[in-house]
Chains A and B, each alone.
Chain A
Amino acid sequence: MNVSTKAEAGYALDKEPYYLPLADEVELFLAAYQQRLPVLLKGPTGCGKTRFVEHMAYKIYRQQMQSSIEQPLQTVACHEDLSATDLVGRFLLQGDETVWQDGPLTRAVKEGAICYLDEIVEARKDSTVLIHSLTDHRRILPVEKLGQILEAHPEFLLVISYNPGYQNVLKDLKPSTRQRFVAIEFDYPAPEEEAKVVQHESGLDEASSQRLAELAVRIRHLRGHGFDEGVSTRLLVYAGQLMVQGVSPRRACDVAISMAVSDDHEVQRAVAEVVDIMFPPEL
């Protein structure tokens, strides 16, 4: 029986993940880590929050502390059916007996890793309440099903990300949760910087990268037409990667951007329209 939990992730971080600092976020994060203050990353999808955490985890665990921890970063992508059980752990049937399996949060608490709960507002309310005791002076995790209270490893840090763009009443972060974190706000980079990111990540030439960044600015103007987020830097990188592979710019933007940002046919057409004038005609 396959019992691997889908919300679980974590990897070794052997190489430094690329991250282009836009302001003082790196220094802020380092300071927060020194004091073990939980961090809330706020910003639209695909603007680099996850990459930032990876970058910071590498910087802290691999460069500063030279730590040998196997998985310095436990990332959990929260979804609307993610419950406390998924985070903490559960009993599974193995052979004739029930076996307890730690969830990613429990593992991070035990091993002293950074636990990154991505898009926390998506998770069910019971799972957000769970982190309260970890994020104040107590730094403990109650594991009800085992009847245990785990004390967090000194190197443990909780980072959550939160996307204010959804504008959904029911999915807003409660003040009691929000006020336990220092918040670092992210937004899409200015076109010049975004072009650099796209160029680095996709290996696309400079001019085309700039076009993509310029295109993103236009498409983000359409926020509020069914997609509150605009086009993410990640999608630009995808488009760039396709272009590097020889796909024509229009087609690449079509599949990576137009189709992805919205299901509204008219909005797709409008995006395609902007793509159309942004890139030179194909021969």
Chain B
Amino acid sequence: MLTRQETYERLKPVNRAMADRYFGITGNLTLSEAELHSFSEQCLAIAEAGWRSFESVNALLDVAPRVGSTDVLLQVCRTGGVLLGYSFEPALNYFRSVAAAYDHEQQQNLAAFETCGLSLHTRLPHASGLVAGFFRTGSVVLGAVPSDCFADWLGLFESMQEMPREALNRFLSASERCPDAPWGFIAELGQRAEPAVIDCLDVYPKLVALLPVAELRSVQALMLKFADETPALCEALLPFLEYQRSARFDSARLDLVFQLLADLRQVAEVKSLLNRIESLPLDQPNAVRAWLNHGLTLTADNPAATLAYLAGESAASVSQLESVRGQVNFEDHKRLFDLVAEAMTGQQVTIESYEAEVVADPHDNLRGWVMPAFDGRTVHLPEAVVMFDQQEQNLWYFKVSLYHQLGYVEFGCYQAISQIAEDIAAASDAELARQLFQIIEDARVDWQLADKFPGLAPHLIRQKVAAVQRRTRKLFSRKGQLLEGMLLHSLDGNTEDLIQAGPAVTEEAARLRRQDLQRLTTWMNTVRHGSVLDVLKVMAHCHDLINEGETSVARMSLEELRASQEMMPDPVNFRGELSVDDLRSTFKVDALIEEIEDILESEPDQSPALTVDGDPDNPDIDELTPGEVPEGVGIVLTDLQQELGEDMSVDPLSSRDALQEFLGGIGGRSQDARKLAYDEWDHSIGDYRKHWCTLFEHRELAQDEDYVRKTLLEHQALARRIRQQLNQVRPENLKKVKGVSEGEELDMERSLDYLMDRRAGLSPSENIYVQRQRKERDVSTLFLLDMSASTDDIVPDPAVEPLVPPEIDDDEAMAEYFRLQRVRDADARRIIDLEKESVILMAEALDKLGDSYSICGFSGYGREQVDYFLCKDFDETFDQGARARVGGIKPCRSTRMGAPIRHATRSLLATGARIKALIIISDGYPQDHDYGADRNSKDYGLMDTMKALSEARQQGVLSYCLTVDPSGHDYLRAMCPDSQYMVIQDIEQLPEELSRVYRSLTG
């Protein structure tokens, strides 16, 4: 039997301090001799097991006093003994965990914990680090969670035992990092997908840090739903969680987001939705829910379409969202606003938009206070309005804003702007005067608008009521309260409760203020039917009244002083703020222009009469008598226009524009490329991707002035042939039509037949007259040239023998071969040259014919950069500049066809011609690096091009595709009907084929 003393003596050499503790602690334990023997034996065994194992004994000695029952203590000793093997650590950590279990009163889980650890040890006896880690982590988890939760952790670990060591290690270290994880949930997650456990634990601490506790449950539910794709889910969630924290989402918004996510079917959908969560109106939960449900139903059988919908890329998504939230976009109504403004004021007023939307929430400072403004020439309105739930109401917000701005012109404010500026500047407190003027003038404009336009009145009142409701900020200073009072009065709001006695306001002061306000509003009422000059008078009175009553700063109480520092009343949203200075400068420019215009107009009218010489192609109309016009002779409208073009240059209207540009610097056309957004058709989602492509219409192009001249010189014969061919479609001005029932003359032959029939008792045909009918050509054609890199390919010249490459090992011959090839390549004709030559010859002939046409090229790289080069516009002549631009066309990058075709269609429609033809000359199928998700699939590009062509057809544009790609049949057959494409076998035929196509399209 080992005694305490004996054991002590044996322990001493191992570690003196430990031995002392042993002696001390065993003295306090009530153990029988046998029990002491067992305990001591274990202690010795452990202590002598190896390096640093005394630490384990120390830990055991820590446990001993905590354990109430000796049996348990001995059991603990035995277990520790079992764990001794290659390292002291498993036992050490085991003992520590037992201590922790007792400290946290988790004894009931101890047995299971031990069993689990022992079985791990038995299974992997060499993995002492793992076992030690298990016990260490266990003790940390023990301390962090309630016992049932710990049991979950234990159960989870047990279920994972079969996994590789590395995974177990990761699990343990992850558990250690977040010991207080919801182990019940993680165990459940583990049941669905084991690997998810570790992925989840990896990000869990971050989630906790980013999310309010209340929302954790929602995230857990989501993770359970997508257990198989936990890493992807986490990747999608984390950026959102960070965003929501920085954007300070309240719980309502977060709840909404998680509700939305809960409805989704795939992690990819979650990602799509979260990526654009900023652009969803989360303050309108019903709208967002309706939008989502609509989309999920709509795209139920097309996952790609769902993703595009959720990401807000498809047209259906954009329009649905706008309609559910009642959004009204400026862009959709721009032309209407422009026209209304012009109708109301009688001058060209441009309506532009700010890049911002107006929302209902007045505290949303970024978006809630976008205000209209007017500088005399341009009215600025917000980009979108979602103040109200109904689209109609939002549209009225736009209109009321617009009418209010136009009211400044209607009721004389704009015209008197110089006087206004002077009066404001003359006031002792100019800022106060400005504010007063704004308030009183706005009141007057709105009152008079309502009087003059009874149809507008109810809508104006509704906006005023809404504006009053939005005014929630309390003001305390005298000036602030009086101005706010006037503002409320201008909105027909109730001012009675505005001024109350309070910390900064005594009863007496409040009474005086109410009295002042009374006087101010009475004065305001006098401008109801007055002019802007009355407003200035009232402004001066009000200014003096407010200024005189102000307490000097020296005599203010602390509260009054603080109140006097507050911001002045917020402006009224739909009225905006009047910029007197801007208006004044515009007004001055306008006055100057008018003056110069008067001078211009007083010059005698020098436009010479139209003179046309005796050219048989251009007969003198004055001298024509009936019947004189020979067959086949026509008058070409554009010739006349050209003649007139020179006179137009002194047109006062155009000089007015020039002046305006020069003086005002406003409305100047930017020299930069025009930027336009176009939708693109995605066949995989069966919908348009909204505003997917950004198209730049370039006017500043590379120029080659000589190219056209050279081409015409080289191809004189061809040019003549094309001209002749096109002459066949030249219109005849007046054509005799025989056999009509009404006409100018009797047709002799038919009259005779008529008489004979009558004599013979037959019923004669009454179509016996001759009529002259007018035939006019009304054609606009757009030639769209493919400028993709592949058009740089050389056109093989049959007249030149191809070079034969020499033997590979003959270096010198090889070098010579490449040199010759380079020389040849430099001179060789390329596909682009053929394209250019063809259109140049066409252009030359069309100029003679007088048809209007445009020449454009396209290229691009990716959807953000579709380049469209406008070489010659419809209304331009084929002059030096246009020639140089066509000559300068060079191969660039890819062939993204959809957007250029849509743009070309749009410009064709704008010409208003009866026959609109679009002729596309390309050298291959449409392709671009992001033309469809799969780079190797040609379908996306083809489908989009097809759609663009069919859109063109629907809008009455005839299209024709010419391609020099021998494999063109394959895809052109899919893209357009047989009669609308042609694959040119012999590329040299292009010019003639082009002219043939032109004739058939427009003839």
The answer on A and B forming one complex is: yes
State the A residues within 8 Å of B (CB).
1, 80-81, 83-86, 90-91, 93, 96, 98, 125-126, 129, 169-170, 174-176, 217-219, 221-222, 225, 266-267, 269-271, 273-281
Q: Does B399 contact A (CB under 8 A)?
A: yes
- Given A274-B344, A277-B403, is A126 in contact with B754 using a C-beta cutoff of 8 Å? no
Residues in A whose Cβ lies below 8 Å from that of B339: 222, 225, 266-267, 269-270
Taken residue by residue from 450 to 466, chain B's Cβ proximity to chain A (1 for < 8 Å, 0 otherwise) reads as: 00011111100000000
List residues of B (588-634) whose CB comes within 8 Å of A's CBs.
609-610, 621-622, 624-626
In the bound assembly, the distance between CA atoms of A276 and B755 in angstroms comes to: 62
Q: Which residue of B lies closest to A95 (CB)?
A: B758
Q: Does B644 contact A (CB under 8 A)?
A: yes
CB distance from B608 to the nearest CB of A (A): 11
Residues in A whose Cβ lies below 8 Å from that of B454: 277-281
Q: Judge whether A281 and B335 touch: CB under 8 Å.
A: no
Taken residue by residue from 385 to 404, chain B's Cβ proximity to chain A (1 for < 8 Å, 0 otherwise) reads as: 00000000000000100010
Stretch at the interface among B167-175, B661-669, B766-774, B875-883: B766-774
Q: Judge whether A85 and B745 touch: CB under 8 Å.
A: yes
Residues in A whose Cβ lies below 8 Å from that of B457: 280-281
- Given A93-B768, A280-B455, is A83 in contact with B744 using a C-beta cutoff of 8 Å? yes
CB distance from B128 to the nearest CB of A (A): 83
User: Of B624, B744, B768, which is in contact with the most chain A CB atoms at under 10 Å from its CB?
Assistant: B744
CB distance from B337 to the nearest CB of A (A): 9
Q: Which of B344, B345, B621, B626 contacts A84 (CB 8 A)?
A: B626
Q: Judge whether A266 and B458 touch: CB under 8 Å.
A: no
Residues in A whose Cβ lies below 8 Å from that of B813: none
User: Of A93, A98, A271, which is in contact with the most chain B CB atoms at under 10 Å from its CB?
Assistant: A93
- Given A125-B621, A270-B339, is A277 in contact with B644 using a C-beta cutoff of 8 Å? no
List residues of B (637-653) whose CB comes within 8 Å of A's CBs.
637, 640-641, 644
- Given A218-B343, A221-B346, is A93 in contact with B754 using a C-beta cutoff of 8 Å? yes
State the B residues within 8 Å of A (CB).
335-336, 339-340, 342-347, 399, 403, 453-458, 609-610, 621-622, 624-626, 637, 640-641, 644, 744-746, 751, 754-755, 758, 766, 768, 771-772, 774
Q: Judge whether B744 and A270 touch: CB under 8 Å.
A: no
Q: Which of B399, B641, B746 contacts A93 (CB 8 A)?
A: B746
Q: Judge whether B335 and A266 touch: CB under 8 Å.
A: yes
Residues in B whose Cβ lies below 8 Å from that of A278: 453-455
Q: Judge whether B774 and A279 touch: CB under 8 Å.
A: no
CB distance from A90 to the nearest CB of B (A): 7
User: Of B342, B347, B644, which is in contact with the most chain A CB atoms at under 10 Å from its CB?
Assistant: B342
Give the 5 A-B CB pairs with smallest separation, nearest first: A270-B339, A280-B454, A277-B456, A277-B453, A221-B346
Interface SS, A side: helix
Q: Judge whether A170 and B640 touch: CB under 8 Å.
A: yes
- Given A1-B766, A83-B744, A91-B746, is A273 in contact with B640 using a C-beta cutoff of 8 Å? no
Residues in B whose Cβ lies below 8 Å from that of A270: 336, 339-340, 343
- Could you name 15 residue pairs across A and B whose Cβ atoms are closer than 8 Å? A81-B771, A84-B626, A93-B754, A93-B755, A125-B621, A126-B624, A129-B625, A170-B640, A266-B335, A269-B339, A270-B339, A270-B343, A273-B399, A274-B343, A276-B456
- Given A125-B624, A218-B343, A273-B399, is A85 in contact with B744 using a C-beta cutoff of 8 Å? yes
In the bound assembly, the distance between CA atoms of A281 and B622 in angstroms comes to: 55
Q: Judge whether A126 and B622 touch: CB under 8 Å.
A: no
CB distance from B377 to the nearest CB of A (A): 16
CB distance from A206 to the nearest CB of B (A): 15
Residues in B whose Cβ lies below 8 Å from that of A174: 622
Q: Judge whether A126 and B343 touch: CB under 8 Å.
A: no
In the bound assembly, the distance between CA atoms of A126 and B455 in angstroms comes to: 51
Q: Which of A80, A91, A98, A271 contacts B343 (CB 8 A)?
A: A271
Q: Judge whether B344 and A221 touch: CB under 8 Å.
A: yes
Q: Judge whether B342 and A222 touch: CB under 8 Å.
A: yes
In the bound assembly, the distance between CA atoms of A174 and B399 in angstroms comes to: 46
In the bound assembly, the distance between CA atoms of A274 and B410 in angstroms comes to: 14
CB distance from B251 to the nearest CB of A (A): 43
Q: Which residue of B lies closest to A96 (CB)?
A: B755
Q: Judge whether B640 and A169 touch: CB under 8 Å.
A: yes
In the bound assembly, the distance between CA atoms of A273 and B333 in angstroms comes to: 12
Residues in B whose Cβ lies below 8 Å from that of A129: 622, 625
In the bound assembly, the distance between CA atoms of A74 and B625 in angstroms comes to: 25
Q: Which residue of B lies closest to A175 (CB)?
A: B609
A83-B772, A273-B336, A281-B455 are known; give 20 further A-B pairs, CB within 8 A.
Answer: A1-B766, A80-B774, A81-B774, A83-B744, A96-B758, A125-B621, A125-B624, A126-B624, A126-B625, A126-B626, A129-B622, A169-B610, A170-B637, A218-B343, A270-B336, A274-B343, A274-B344, A276-B455, A277-B453, A281-B457
